[in-house]
Structure 1
Amino acid sequence: MAMRKPIRLQRHRPLRRKLGLPVWADAFLRLFAAIFLVFMVVLIHWSDRDGLIDNHDGVVSFSDVVYFTMISITTTGFGDIAPVSDKARMIEAMIVTPIRFAVIFIFVGTAYNFIIKRSWERFRMSRIQDRLKDHVVVLGFGVSGSEAVAELIARGTSPDCIVVMDNSEDRLQLAEDMGCNIINADATRDESLQDVRIAQAATVLVSAGRDDSSILIVLTVRHLAPEVPITVVVRAPDNELLARQAGATNVINPVRFTGLLLAGSASGMHTADYLSDLASVTGRVQLVEREARPEDIGRSLRELGSGSLGLRLYRDGRAIGYWEDEAQSVQPGDMIVVIRPTPECGPGVL
């Protein structure tokens, strides 16, 4: 995704340059093309002026040709000047008519691109922004980001509540095909994050592909949304502390997690399988975090009223295991991490 990156050495790439034109240049080229086509028709009509008749004075002057060209191209057709010879009529039908369509398409296309399309896009963006609240913002739609979105949707999150920001049109197309809201923008810029209502988001997932870029994004998000939870993916262990200092609520190191799975499989053949089962909605069990419910209050973490298997609770910023004394009585406001079976594999306990 687009972000401020340090200069680095790269392999040889073919020499190229950006082909995009500024708005004023695009409009000028369209206008020049239309004028050129009109000028071509004027020359054609002037060269065959003997095939035209002027019902006013009988003389076809150059100004008459220009006048006839304009009313002909705009399909006005007053009838005061008209082609009368077979040659003039064939020229009008075979040459002037295609040029007339081309000029009309140029002006219609220009009006669409610069007025209708932009106004419609602004209207659509405004409508989407008005509904953005408690949504999930995914900054970076690479391998990790796309897998996270697919898992969120599989767990029941509506794609309408997911906003994906990236600078790759191909990756954004994949996100759009999944039903998500998308935006091609730089996640390190304040205005880009404000466009997706970052302060009203339920959570932010950052996976920029580079640790330095991800940490810079976390800093920007935390500046604009001091209370929103941020989860970031970093790959270097040294950067985990930096990510937390930047404001990340959760830091995920895929390399470290892979190592844990490998170590678990070495100590037991089913450990890694169960961990993968917990992490995915397609497994037989799910690892879920939720707030303590009325039926849980006063109960032990091991015997929750909902029937879930409690593993850990968070109280006043502290993590408390099920074996600790504080976990013998769940209190209002506790956040609980529980294991529950998926609906297909067991009763619908929550």
Structure 2
Amino acid sequence: MRHRLRRGLASEELSERPDHALVGVIRIPETQQSPGRAIGRRVVFALVALFFTAVIVYLDRDGYRDVQENDLSFLDALYYSAVTLSTTGYGDITPLTPTARLINLLIITPLRVLFLIVLIGTTLEVLTERSRQALKIQRWRNSVRNHTVVVGYGTKGRTAVDAMIGDGIKPAEIVIVDSDAAVLEAAAADNLVTVRGDATKSDILRLAGVHHASSIVIATSRDDTAVLATLTARELNPRAKIVASIRESENTHLMRQSGANSVVVSSETAGRLLGIATLTPSVVEVIEDLLTPDEGYAIAEREVDPTETGGSPSHTRDIVLGVVRNGVLHRVDDSEVEQIEAGDRLLYVRKGASD
């Protein structure tokens, strides 16, 4: 059943396409330049090329012939440069001597080509943009390793990314997968690599490098989509840590069976906070503070310091909430973790990034 479902979802082998065919599916962020500045640079270059050519022609003015048999002025040289670089070529001023013709061949002709590139720069920029994106996609696919893939960039996905960046993860190490073009534009504006497509298809997740990812965040708006995306991601990467968000708690066991390591029930979590806020609103403020890494306090995890081995978790320099031993989280008052062992990881409260 699973294999029939997988064949139905993977209708097109995108991962086998050449890199240039993936432009528009994968998008690598780059520094944006304002249109005014781009146009200004072209205008400046065109003027520099025009005046540089005029100076060369004027210095060799004796090698040119005017149909009126007049000596060439700088204005004539500027006029000849303009009609030559623009390939108009009226023929009223022509190079006569071998030196002037050699200069036209070796200097003015290349300048004419560059001048035309400036004039049609917008079209060429579109073409070179596709080439640059294809090259970036090729380099990225060959080098992306141990990154985080976020499926869905709605409110939950965007908040998850903000939290990861607040905890020190670089935007270049995060890849967004979504089928909504407007959402992907917002992600690209945040300097994130994006992949456009259905995350329940294995080919789309392969393009996002799921098989090389260290963490996968499932933040879709529908629980059935989350289950299928988790199942597909786990099949591609048996070792990655998968964290998923669902709306209904009754689907938690499905997410676990699909391969999720951690499941967050968004509706119940919000409901609990609302209930707590009616009696003790300050507790909710503390929880929000702990969940916001940029200010106040935050919950983090770290390795055990060698000097802490053998001691009690409650006697460390930090406020320890739990001990992770052999991949299992124990509360700080659990008798199994009365003494810290080498290899343990401590879940503790640390100061926020802004403090």
TM-score (norm 2): 0.62
Contact 2:294/2:353, CA 8 A, preserved across alignment: no
Specify whether residues 295 and 126 from structure 1 end up closer, same or farther in structure 2 by C-alpha distance, changes over 3 A only. farther
Contact 1:211 1:234 in 2 (8 A): yes
1:139 corresponds to: 151
Instruction: Say which of 233, 237, 246 aligns to 1:221.
Output: 233
Contact 2:294 2:354 in 1 (8 A): no
Matched-pair contact (CA < 8 Å) for 2:216–2:243:
yes
Structure 1 partner of 2:351 = 341
Is residue 256 of structure 1 aligned with residue 285 of structure 2? no
What is the letter of the counterpart of residue 318 of structure 2? S
1:308 to 313, 318, 331: 318
Structure 2 partner of 1:199 = 211
Deviates more, 1:222-231 or 1:183-192: 183-192
Residues 201, 228 of structure 1: 8 Å contact kept: yes
Paired residue for 2:174, among 157, 162, 167?
A: 162
State the Cα distance separating 1:285 from its structure 2 match.
0.8
How far apart in 2 are the matches of 1:171 and 1:344? 29
Q: 1:239 aligns with which of 246, 251, 256?
A: 251
How far did 1:295 drift?
A: 3.1
Shift of 1:76: 12
Alpha carbons of structure 1 residues 271 and 185: separation in structure 2 relative to 1, 3 Å: same
Residue 283 of structure 1 corresponds to 295
- Separation in 1, partners of 2:315, 2:211: 37
Distance 1:121 1:269, change over 3 A: closer
Instruction: Indicate the percent of aligned positions where both proteins have the same amino acid.
Output: 27
Which secondary structure does the structure 2 equivalent of 1:164 belong to? strand
Q: Secondary structure at the match of 1:298?
A: coil
Q: Work out the CA distance in 1 between the residues paired with 2:152 and 2:169.
A: 18
1:150 aligns to 2:162 (yes or no): yes
How far does residue 326 in structure 1 lie from its aligned partner after superposition? Answer: 2.2
More displaced 10-residue stretch of structure 1: 116-125 or 187-196: 116-125
Q: How far apart, CA to CA, are the structure 2 residues paired with 1:155 and 1:259?
A: 26
Amino acid paired to 2:315: E
Residues 166 and 353 in structure 2, CA contact (< 8 A), matched pair in contact too: no
SS of residue in 1 equivalent to 2:298 = strand
- CA–CA distance in 2 between the matches of 1:120 and 1:216? 34
What TM-score does the superposition give when structure 1 sets the normalisation length? 0.63
Letter in 1 for 2:238: P
Moved over 4 A (4+): 115-119
Alpha-carbon contact 2:223-2:247 (below 8 Å) kept? yes
* Separation in 1, partners of 2:195, 2:167: 23
Return the offset for 1:294: 2.0
Match of 1:275, SS state, is: helix
Give the corresponding residue for 2:92.
Answer: none
Structure 1 letter corresponding to 2:133? E
> For 2:88 and 2:354, how far apart are their aligned partners in 1?
69
Give the alignment of 1:10-89 within 5 angstroms: none
1:318 matched residue in structure 2: 328
- The number of aligned residues is 243
Query: Which structure carries more helix by proportion?
Result: 2
Aligned twin of 1:186:
198
C-alpha RMSD over aligned residues: 2.8
Give, in angstroms, the shift of residue 261 of structure 1.
Answer: 1.2
Q: Which residue of 2 aligns with 1:269?
A: 281
SS in 2 for 1:270: helix
Task: State the shift of 1:283 in Å.
Answer: 3.5
Structure 2 spans left out of the alignment, 5+ residues: 1-5, 7-20, 22-86, 90-115
Contact 1:137–1:201 (CA under 8 A) maintained in structure 2: yes
Q: Which runs of 5+ in 1 are unaligned?
A: 5-22, 24-74, 78-100, 346-350
Distance in 1 separating the partners of 2:209 and 2:287: 34
The DSSP-based 3-state class of the residue aligned with 1:295 is helix
1:325-345 CA distance string (max 9 Å, x none): 222211122232111122544
Cross-structure match for 1:329: 339
Measured after TM superposition, the shift of residue 290 of structure 1 is 2.5
In the alignment, which of 104, 114, 135 is matched to residue 123 of structure 1? 135
Residue 343 and residue 138 in structure 1: after superposition, are their counterparts in 2 closer, same or farther (change >3 A)? closer
1:212-245 Cα offsets, whole Å, 9 max, x none, are 0011000000000001001111001111111111
